[in-house]
Structure 1
């Protein structure tokens, strides 16, 4: 199984904020083959860890009452060595602190920010919990992609706040795309989404999960109550689709990842956007 190369500034974790943790476990357990373990209620608020073949891949958390009006959502977390310093850098570079650094006993520190384009992005400062343990295998995270309404501001923000060493994959009016790292070493992407994101939809991070067969995954997901948001389409890097789970949280699937799968997934999503 591919082991993620989690360097500072790179994606290291994902979690789902959901209105129904039982339904989420049933859905993702069946779709991706995940198993689950609930954390101590007092220490971790009932946070649920999801694993694939014994390796940590994601978390699930129930929304509390003051979050009830918010949509269910998947979040990406970037690795940081100092969550407090990152919070200061976010503010200094046009972002917002949605939730300041919070200690997760024994595991690490987490925080949630809004970037300079309004997209929510989390950070994780690890102690015992280093991040997800497998990527780019069926049923695991394959790629992370920011759909930005202000592409230039987004690229600069992640360069300045998270120290991203970026590579411009494409820079045409029809398709602008920048990656964290280059080639097979790329770990995430930023897409100029200004031409297609509706006015009411803010910039947002998207998570892609690897699957063995996109069309079969769609059929299975829809049969369990998911909604097909964007039908399957082929790209040079895989077959892609967008779904919403039974409570509305959106995610993407991608088929046929090979060596350098994280990068291929990202380029494929961009090509198919």
Structure 2
């Protein structure tokens, strides 16, 4: 298998594990009759952070982007290579993003399989959708977009900062535990308004799975909001990439 094949498979597996464990903790908290039911936002935040930890470990060969915002942020920062020595070009960019998207869909499907009986017995369609995708506490798409931009900016700027101190651009450059802590602190500090997607694949992939899966009484997939957790992280990631060109040399001095 060539380098791009390894990258694709690595991103699929890593992102699938990320979404399986991340959306899985939401299912445990939100769906009726689970042992974790009512565990609260802090349990979800910690679960998502540790889900990222596991995804990074699984996708270490590709640099573990696991997130199109990270991929595009690295491009905007002027990186010449991604993980494993893969050069930055349109083919490699699309390979990373395709792997991230496919992995996110697959991970969401497995969450549904794991919690099938609980989805069947959950009366609230909003709780079912909430397992798969994010939604705002106060619906105001403009301000929700700002929140996602800020959260993703922080994520990608720190990722780029660490990648410049190592050999592998991407989340894996931080080491698995630091990036897990980074995601937890973003969730606990900035996650309240929107549920902090900070990753287009993490939201769009499971939302697509919610749309096509035969989930009993699932209701709408809320496509009218779906652009916010896609566009916001992309803008935040690219802005962080551009900002890193100026800010990170200053911070390192």
- Higher strand proportion (structure 1 or 2): 1
**Higher RCO structure (Cα 8 Å, ≥6 apart):** 2
- Higher helix proportion (structure 1 or 2): 2
If the length of structure 1 is used for normalisation, what is the TM-score?
Answer: 0.24
If the length of structure 2 is used for normalisation, what is the TM-score?
Answer: 0.25
